[in-house]
Amino acid sequence: MELIKYKAGDELAFEMGFTGQTIVIRKITKVTPSGRYVCGSVTLNPDLSLRGRDSFSVLPLSAKPVTPKIREKRERQQLVKFLKNVSFNKFDLEILRKIKRLIGENETI
């Protein structure tokens, strides 16, 4: 199986945490002469597996190319996180009613 070659500036997705619940997207900052990829403080082997990862690390096992589906999943995570931190007490009643109608289309309150 031939490996895809990436270049500096290409984006890779990392599933972080013990269960991979958080997606982090990082750009490749450097490709080494041996074909390893550097994304900030993380170095990946040519097959995108994490170089030097120990079994107790919360770092990801590997990275994968960013796809539209991964971008959507990441955006969804960011929106849910944002909405969890919104203080709805400051909104006026009419706005709260509109929010309830929007949410009511997808979920029973």
Determine, yes or no, domain membership for 2. Answer: no
* N-to-C CA span, the chain: 50
pTM value surpassing 0.85: no
Determine, yes or no, domain membership for 36. Answer: yes
Determine, yes or no, domain membership for 57. Answer: yes
| Domain enclosing residue 95, as ranges | 11-104
Determine, yes or no, domain membership for 5. Answer: no
- Which of 48, 45, 50, 9 shows the shortest CA–CA distance to 30? 9
Domain count, the chain: 1
CA quadruple 37, 45, 18, 65: dihedral, nearest 10: 60
Which pLDDT belongs to residue 19?
63
| Blockwise average pLDDT, block size 10, the chain, 109 residues | 84 79 89 92 88 61 88 91 91 92 71
Determine, yes or no, domain membership for 71. Answer: yes
Determine, yes or no, domain membership for 56. Answer: yes
Determine, yes or no, domain membership for 16. Answer: yes
Determine, yes or no, domain membership for 76. Answer: yes
